[in-house]
Structure 1
Amino acid sequence: MTATTDPTTARPPIEEMYVVHRVFRREFALLPRLVRAVREGDADRASLVGGHLRLVLDGLHMHHTGEDEILWPRLSERAEPSAELVRTMQAQHDLVDQHLDRLGPLLEQWMRTGAVLRGEQVARVTDELRESLLEHLDLEEREILPLVAQHVTAAEWALLGEHGRGSMSFGQLPLLFGSLLEDADPHERAMMLDPLPAPVRLLMLTWGARRYTRYIRRVRGE
């Protein structure tokens, strides 16, 4: 096997990260508006929208824990002059976690009652989370991904996807994959689906796609 095809030496497909980040940019822009549009006392609608926010937050948590466990240790060891940058990324993860800690109790109360006042608090904290997250994603794309391309192998990069898939429940799988594929072009769709076992890939393209379409239309009130 040549160096260009050996997954232990081949460079990672870092373009996958842009697809993942696109989901967070899209959903955290939409969600505060959806929260604010819920009528006073409409607990059913609050539960649906809040459940989607929880799903996106779970996806973000999976994404960040994968980076914490897989990317940062390798970059800290191999890209030594950039150690300060890695520490900055870790600090940004900590800041996002602080927003998540604030958001959890507010979201639980709003989903139960549909109270507009509590919903506004949920939307405001989500806006603050988005602001911190966008700064983090921009820095990651600008500074971290070029380092990953130099210092992380394709096999190590694949561990991120395995971590994410292993962290998802069966119910989350079609919704999170549907979210990834929603705005993906044909090349990106293939890139995200190819690592899946063939039966799972077929399931995501059929039952999973239909389930996601029905689900997201309900969430967005379409």
Structure 2
Amino acid sequence: MTAPEPRADVREMYMAHTMMRREFTLLPELVRAAAVGDRQRAEVLVRHIELIEGVLSHHHHSEDTHLWPRLLERGAAEIAPVVHLMEQQHHTIDELTVELRAATAAWRDTATREAAEAVAAVLDRMCPALEEHLRVEEEQVLPLIEKHVTASEWDRMVAEGAGDTPVELLPLMFGLMTYEGDPEVVQKAISQMPEEARPVIAGVAAQAFAAHSQIIHGTPTPPRVGAA
């Protein structure tokens, strides 16, 4: 008898969620603390916002493309309401993302107090919407993924996402993801990388994150939020 194929290991998803919780939660205060007229600081923070927002948008695109169709195809009828809730929440966050992009563009150009407050105000609305989405996904969706998605399908999705990341950003992105990560999950992620890249990523990711955080947060060790 053929052994059943291993199921998806979703622990990396918790790690990604923690990163998004942390960085989005810290953003409103950072924006409001920027000095009026300091276009250099505004530019630095806007680039950081674009980086984190890009991770979130890519994350949601992967789910929309790979996960929701599989769950709807393979799961029982009761799965559909959960998947449709995920899609609705993605739509809400997408709309807020459009607002955020417009607000950051205006702040980047002017560095006025009004423009900064407009960015922070969008983030104030985006953070609770994102937190609610991540919470429901962790409580209701990740157990379904573990049940209905195979390890090979999951790993292909993760690899595809990593393949879209510019090579020069890989150390920073890995450092952002693993700052609060479970060491066992971090090691698993490293083991799935190309062999020649493993020592480079493992060696420089923490340094890249620390240097980036010093610029953004004023410390190489920003406050940890942990999982929900």
Alpha carbons 1:62, 1:167 under 8 Å: kept: no
Structure 1 SS opposite 2:34: coil
Q: 1:2 to 1:34 in 2, by over 3 A?
A: farther
**Residue number in structure 2 paired with 1:38:** 34
Q: Which runs of 5+ in 2 are unaligned?
A: 220-228
Alignment of 1:41-190 (within 5 A): 41-81=37-77, 82-190=79-187
**Residue number in structure 2 paired with 1:17:** 13
CA distance in 2, matches of 1:10, 1:181: 24
Per-residue CA deviations over 1:57-114 (Å, capped at 9, x if unaligned) read 0000111111111100100101132112111101111111000011111101212322
Structure 2 SS opposite 1:40: coil
Structure 2 SS opposite 1:171: helix
- Of residues 29-38 and 79-88 in structure 1, the stretch that sits farther from structure 2 once superposed is 79-88
Matching of residue 29 in structure 1 with residue 18 in structure 2: no
1:203 to 193, 200, 204: 200
Q: List structure 1 segments (4+ residues) > 6 angstroms apart after TM superposition.
A: none
Letter in 2 for 1:61: S
RMSD: 1.6
Letter in 2 for 1:83: A
Q: Which runs of 5+ in 1 are unaligned?
A: none
Alpha carbons 2:191, 2:198 under 8 Å: kept: yes
Alpha carbons 2:28, 2:123 under 8 Å: kept: yes
Cα deviation for residue 35 of structure 1 reads 0.7
CA distance in 1, matches of 2:37, 2:86: 39
Letter in 2 for 1:75: L
Paired positions, count: 218
TM-score by length of 2: 0.90
Alpha carbons 2:179, 2:206 under 8 Å: kept: no
